């Protein structure tokens, strides 16, 4: 039964609950890594075809787009879900545990895909909109570089499937299930990887004066790098420099020839992003000289800052408030230091990336994480209502 404004409400998708839960568990049991989403893409394409969508496969790798045109409306809308899993060995405890050793859906992409499929099924039946709906099922979000979003765009996503706006969603552990969170402007961080290799002169551990120890230089550099944010970035701005890896040497009695460090660098502003890269390079090179070694610095650009568009963010927030009630909508939500390749879509088209509470679950990218099935019909109803509102008759 429709609500008074003739748009989807929560009760409309409740009959899909059992089927969506079974589908999500099926996807959870069969996770596939970035650029390996063969079976996931096949299942998505099969479902969309069954419901009457025009289906295009093989975009940006295993990307799938389902298109449904209703009426003569000129507006077009894109909704995106990611499909890939992570190289994590799932901790036992559920009867639908991953059947692929060392791979699991530890970020909820199985849930994201299922929510959008739920909306797809519902909208194909009700057709309560006027325009073109493009459902984008994207591979390789987790890969960090040369991602599915980049490749789908490069292969003509928006030229082949025009979208006046595009929207995406991610679950968020620690907030009540079904609550939704929004922020206009910079929302998620740019993330770059910087590799610093220090080259010295190896030697005998008993004769350090005859060597140039890169490990000592690296150890000192770890501490020095902590000053990049604290002494170079405006205290009112946000940035992160994390040294996640330091490797050097193989034996206690040998001074190694080199030491290698890997950094994760995050920021919310392009100017700060450039400044961080410059200062890290300068600090590493000059620090190395002080220890008699040489530094090579390599920057691997990651995803850009995700910047939500104000008008589309406000629209998405209004839809959530209509569907869930104002008490279940948080806006503005704090910026998030994680990164997301949905940022590339927002560089090309106006839109919004939002979060949905996943309840008291384990954190993302954790071996005990699981998507909250209570979100499945809520997410499906939200996508359906947003479509109906954006492509109103």
Quick one: pLDDT band at residue 1, thresholds 50, 70, 90?
A: very low
* CA pair distance 79, 4, nearest whole angstrom: 25
- The predicted pLDDT at position 5 comes to 81
Quick one: pLDDT band at residue 2, thresholds 50, 70, 90?
A: very low
Q: Could you tell me the CATH number of the domain that includes residue 203?
A: 3.30.70.360
> Which alpha helices (DSSP H) does 30-134 contain, by range?
38-50, 109-126
Q: What is the SS3 assignment for 356?
A: strand
Domain count, the chain: 2
Same domain for 252 and 196, yes or no, is yes
Domain membership of residue 5 (yes or no) is no
* CA pair distance 27, 109, nearest whole angstrom: 9
Domain membership of residue 46 (yes or no) is yes
Q: Read off the pLDDT of residues 96-125 as tens digits, 9 standing for 90 and up.
A: 999 999 999 999 999 999 999 999 999 999
Last residue of a domain, one of 267, 300, 333: 300
Q: Read off the pLDDT of residues 311-345 as tens digits, 9 standing for 90 and up.
A: 999 999 999 999 999 999 999 999 999 999 999 99
Does the pLDDT value for residue 359 go beyond 60? yes
Q: Read off the pLDDT of residues 155-203 as tens digits, 9 standing for 90 and up.
A: 999 999 999 999 999 999 999 999 999 999 999 999 999 999 999 999 9
* CA pair distance 290, 285, nearest whole angstrom: 9
Instruction: Tell me the longest C-alpha to C-alpha distance in the chain.
Output: 84
DSSP code of residue 13:
H
Last residue of a domain, one of 300, 316, 334: 300
Last residue of a domain, one of 247, 278, 300: 300
The residue whose two tokens read 């099922």 is: 137
CA 18, distance to chain mean position in Å, is 27
The residue whose two tokens read 């490749």 is: 151
Same domain for 177 and 244, yes or no, is no
What average pLDDT score do residues 126-153 get? 97
Same domain for 199 and 309, yes or no, is no
- The predicted pLDDT at position 222 comes to 98
Could you tell me what percent of the chain has a pLDDT over 70? 99
Same domain for 168 and 311, yes or no, is yes
Same domain for 21 and 115, yes or no, is yes
Q: Provide the residue range defining the domain that includes 263.
A: 190-300
Domain membership of residue 363 (yes or no) is yes
Does the pLDDT value for residue 142 go beyond 80? yes
């Amino acid at each position: 039964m429709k609500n008074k404004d003739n748009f989807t409400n929560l009760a409309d998708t409740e009959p899909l609950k059992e089927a969506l839960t079974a589908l999500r568990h099926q996807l959870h049991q069969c996770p596939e890594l970035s650029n390996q989403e063969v079976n996931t893409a096949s299942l998505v394409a099969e479902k969309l075809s069954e419901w009457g969508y025009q289906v295009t496969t093989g975009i940006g790798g295993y990307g799938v787009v389902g298109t449904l045109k209703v009426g003569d409306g000129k507006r077009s809308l894109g909704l995106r879900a990611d499909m890939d899993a992570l190289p994590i060995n799932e901790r036992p405890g559920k009867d639908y545990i991953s059947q692929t050793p060392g791979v699991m859906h530890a970020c909820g992409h199985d849930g994201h895909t299922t929510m959008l499929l739920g909306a797809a099924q519902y909208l194909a039946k009700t057709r309560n909109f006027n325009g073109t709906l493009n459902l984008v099922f994207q591979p390789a979000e987790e890969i960090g570089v040369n991602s599915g979003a980049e490749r789908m765009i490069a292969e003509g996503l928006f030229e082949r499937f025009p979208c006046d706006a595009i929207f995406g969603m991610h679950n968020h552990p620690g907030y009540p299930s079904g609550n939704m969170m929004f922020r206009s402007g910079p929302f998620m961080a740019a993330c770059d990887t910087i590799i610093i290799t220090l080259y010295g002169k190896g030697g005998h551990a008993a004769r350090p004066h005859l060597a140039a120890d890169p490990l000592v230089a690296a150890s000192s550099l770890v501490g020095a790098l902590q000053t990049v944010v604290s002494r170079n970035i405006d205290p009112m701005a946000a940035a992160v420099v994390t040294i996640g890896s330091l490797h050097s040497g193989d034996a206690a009695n040998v001074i190694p020839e080199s030491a290698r460090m890997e950094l994760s660098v995050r920021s919310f502003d392009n100017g700060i992003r450039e400044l961080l890269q410059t200062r890290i390079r300068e600090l590493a090179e000059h620090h190395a000289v002080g220890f008699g070694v040489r530094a090579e610095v390599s920057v691997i650009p990651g995803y850009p800052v995700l910047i939500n568009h104000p008008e589309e963010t406000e629209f998405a927030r209004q839809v959530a408030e209509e569907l869930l009630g104002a008490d279940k909508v948080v806006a503005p939500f704090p910026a998030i230091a994680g990164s997301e390749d949905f940022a590339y879509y927002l560089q090309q088209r106006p839109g919004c990336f939002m979060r949905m509470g996943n309840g008291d679950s384990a954190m993302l990218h954790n071996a005990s994480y699981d998507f909250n099935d209570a979100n499945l019909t809520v997410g499906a109803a939200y996508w359906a209502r947003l479509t109906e509102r954006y492509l109103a008759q």
